[in-house]
Amino acid sequence: MATQDQVQLIAYADRLGGDLRGLAGFLRREEVAGAFGGVHVLPFYTPFDGADAGFDPIDHTAVDPRLGTWDDVRELARTHDVMVDLIVNHVSADSAAFLDVVARGDASPWAPMFLTMSSVFPDGAREEELARIYRPRPGLPFTAIRLGDRLRYVWTTFTPQQIDVDVTSELGREYLTSILDAAAGAGVRLVRLDAVGYAVKTPGTTCFMTPETFDFIADFAAQARERGVDLLVEVHSYYRRQVEIAREVDLVYDFALPPLVLHALYTGDGTALVDWLRERPRNAVTVLDTHDGIGVIDVGPDQTVAPGEAERPGLLTPEQIDALVEGIHERTGGASARATGAAASNLDLYQVNSTFYDALGRDDARYLAARSIQLFTPGIAQVYYVGLLAGQNDVELLERTGVGRDVNRHHYTTAEVDAALATPLVQRLLALCRFRSTFPAFDGDVDTALDGSRLTMERRGAEVPDAVARLEVDLASGAGSLHWSDGAAPETVVDLAGFVPEDVVVPVRR
């Protein structure tokens, strides 16, 4: 099967097998083999356990020695396509370069690499210019830090521990190129540009996904392709902007899919979901869950509309979004409410923190239906490690760290992994992933139909037109069935909630 037709796992290097070698061992286990063609390894740089779980690197070119080496990444790439994060927007406040700027101010050779308010607004900023800056958290994106002998407003889009880089400076460009070279040299073939929408700051704009941002992405994509690397752009934004972004880049996330699937399975109404399935970009990575929360901004109205401009409605109405969020809180017994927003030091305005399994009330039938919808949606399907193991909200970890997203970032012991892999639900999910990764019906487009609450999705192979797979889901009840034929045998039909893994072992034609 082509790479884009195979399912990928999303995982931290340390939370399934302890380190990079342990992660490779998990992917090569007999129970897991054949389900995944690739893996997105979440940040393993120094330090992987910093203030933002690796997204605040001190040294972005070095593998944290507690997790392994670039040779271990190269070994993983021997059997699986590897995707890694390239954190273009910022570095840790504890990085050697920024600490030198703290000590020496403008006398530091590294000073041009970091953004301050005055470097973006050299003539000062009017109130309306500052108010227009788009930020995913409350307040302005500045932190007062003494640099040398002066107190400066340093640009910190996310937290005071994450210092924004001037990606247009010579030092910034050299820094990002060095990371790209390290990843490509280890056999990485896909790079995720984390928070790239905020990377370029242009006075008088929202400083989010501006024309200058698109230019930066295009230039960086050209560098990546020279090294045999494709780019996945990570942006939470208004859905029409995602469609626009998709025209300019290799891959985008389909962040609208998770809330739309939940809305459909909560209400039995698949209208918004089907409308999106017909409009969404095809060069997308599909997810239901990631290391972050379940996004709602991706289905809501445009948040960057300037005063006086016409509102741009979302895929769901504000009332539907409110009902969705309350539905998650209700089904998780309030755990998601405790893990979301200021209550858990997690001020992302667009995310609800919960495992996807808990967001569906731990309903196995609806969970398999949701995953099947994801797997039948065109694009590269990625399954988060907690979602793969049907993980429940880790309230104990949340209470220990006070970090909302930790509720969906469980550290699995070997015994817990073994126990999860032995459950019928996880075995069925692995069988569905294996079916998606091996059956040659998923390189074509999808035909989608909605009859009342009954959703039908059909995929037909482009290279093997006789290969057909069809999913039928009653959104009201969560009941679903899988139908397929390779053209040489009668159609096979299985009940999603009752099949055994052997039911989806089918003749594979490559």
Residue 292 lies in a domain: yes
| Global confidence as pTM | 0.93
25 plus 154 within the same structural domain: no
Domain-terminating residue out of 110, 137, 163: 163
CA distance 314 to 75: 43
pLDDT at residue number 210 = 92
pLDDT of residue 195: 87
Domain-located, residue 249: yes
Give a yes or no: residue 510 inside a domain.
no
Residues 360 and 396 in one domain: yes
One-letter amino acid at 222 equals A
CB 3 within 8 A of CB 38: yes
**Do 325 and 207 share a structural domain?**
yes
Catalytic residue among 234, 348, 406, 472: 234
**In a shared domain, residues 139 and 180:** no
Same domain for 351 and 479, yes or no, is no
Q: Are 345 and 197 within one domain?
A: yes
CB 74 within 8 A of CB 24: no
Q: How far is CA 41 from the centre of its chain?
A: 11
| Position 329 in a domain | yes
Q: Among 142, 163, 184, which residue terminates a domain?
A: 163
Q: Is residue 509 part of a domain?
A: no
Q: Please indicate, yes or no, whether residues 208 and 131 belong to a single structural domain of this protein.
A: no
Domain end marker among 163, 192, 216: 163
Q: How far apart are CA 87 and CA 126, in angstroms?
A: 30
Domain identity same for 304 and 350:
yes
Are 322 and 411 found together in one domain? Answer: yes
Domain enclosing residue 454, as ranges: 446-504
CA 61 vs. chain centroid, Å, equals 22
* CATH number of the domain encompassing residue 281: 3.20.20.80
User: Pairing mode, if any, of strands 190-194 and 81-87?
Assistant: parallel
Catalytic choice (64, 72, 81, 194): 194
Whether 11 and 72 share a structural domain: yes
Count of C-beta atoms within a 10 Å radius of residue 464? 18
For residue 250, indicate whether it is catalytic.
no
Same domain, 369 and 232: yes
Burial 157-185 (b: 16+ CB within 10 A, else e): bbbebbbbbbbebebbbebbeebbebbbe
Omega within 30 of 0 (cis) for the link into 47: yes
Residue 74 lies in a domain: yes
Q: What is the pLDDT of residue 47?
A: 92
The answer to whether residue 484 sits within a structural domain is yes
Token pair recorded at residue 454: 């009954």
Count of domains for the chain: 3
Q: What does the pLDDT read at residue 505?
A: 63
pLDDT in single tens digits along all 510 residues of the chain: 344 579 999 999 999 989 999 999 999 999 999 999 999 999 999 999 988 888 889 999 999 999 999 999 999 999 999 999 999 999 999 999 999 999 999 999 999 999 999 999 999 999 999 999 988 778 899 999 999 999 999 999 999 999 999 999 999 999 999 999 999 999 999 999 998 999 999 999 999 989 999 999 999 999 999 999 999 998 888 899 888 888 888 999 999 999 999 999 999 999 999 999 999 999 999 999 999 989 888 999 987 777 778 888 999 999 999 999 999 999 999 999 999 865 544 444 568 999 999 999 999 999 999 999 999 999 999 999 999 999 999 999 999 998 899 999 999 999 999 999 999 999 999 999 999 999 999 998 999 999 999 999 999 999 999 999 999 999 999 999 999 998 888 889 899 988 877 777 655 444
234 belongs to the catalytic site = yes
Tell me the C-alpha distance between 181 and 201, whole Å: 25
Q: Per the domain annotation, does 118 fall within a domain?
A: yes
Token digits for 180? Answer: 């790209």
Q: 295 pairs with which residues across the strands?
A: 351
- Same domain for 155 and 75, yes or no, is no
Q: What is the CATH number of the domain that holds 151?
A: 3.90.400.10
